[in-house]
Structure 1
Amino acid sequence: MLTYINSTNTSTLLFLISVLGIFLNQKNILVMLMSLEMMFLAVSFNLIFASIHLDDITGQVFSLLILTVAAAESSIGLAILVIYYRIRSVITVELMSLMKG
């Protein structure tokens, strides 16, 4: 069983890896979106671990809410990327400034 300190270290490490993924992959929007989802997952893990440590269910409820919003955001983002790829045949961040609307 993970202790509270080890679990917060794990979620912090996951969060930092996702921030690093966003900064290192600034050309591929899909990798940036996946890193953003991993960031949401790290925050959710931190809420769950704190909820277990404090013996309170509020953190788990907020974690479920975060995961629900993240899933909706991810599906909308992927739908926009698919439409953009059909129009331009390339998915890069540099060309996203050409979008109009």
Structure 2
Amino acid sequence: DFLNMYFQNMYKPIPLVYNLALAMLWRHQENVDLDIVKFLHYCAAREDIKKLVSKWWEIYNDESLDFRLGERRKNAESRSELQQITANALRGEMAKP
């Protein structure tokens, strides 16, 4: 609150819908409508938060949950085949079936 008062005439604050700090849910829950929030950030070093973040990264990095992985592999294979055909053409060779 002190920083808000200090910078009161120097900047226009970002609305909570785009800049909701997790602490607002703990301290000013009545000012938060979670149905319209687009971005939530947190500044907490508590163990439960660290575990939550760790679990999030574990899920995020799990390739089995990546629905585009197969598509990316196909594209990579197609690029590889195209590169081979191009290389053969530049060497004057015919692409073998």
TM-score (ref. length: structure 2): 0.26
Q: Kindly name which structure, 1 or 2, has the bigger radius of gyration based on alpha carbons.
A: 2
Q: Which has the higher contact order (CA 8 A, sep 6+)?
A: 1
TM-score (ref. length: structure 1): 0.26
More helix by share: 1
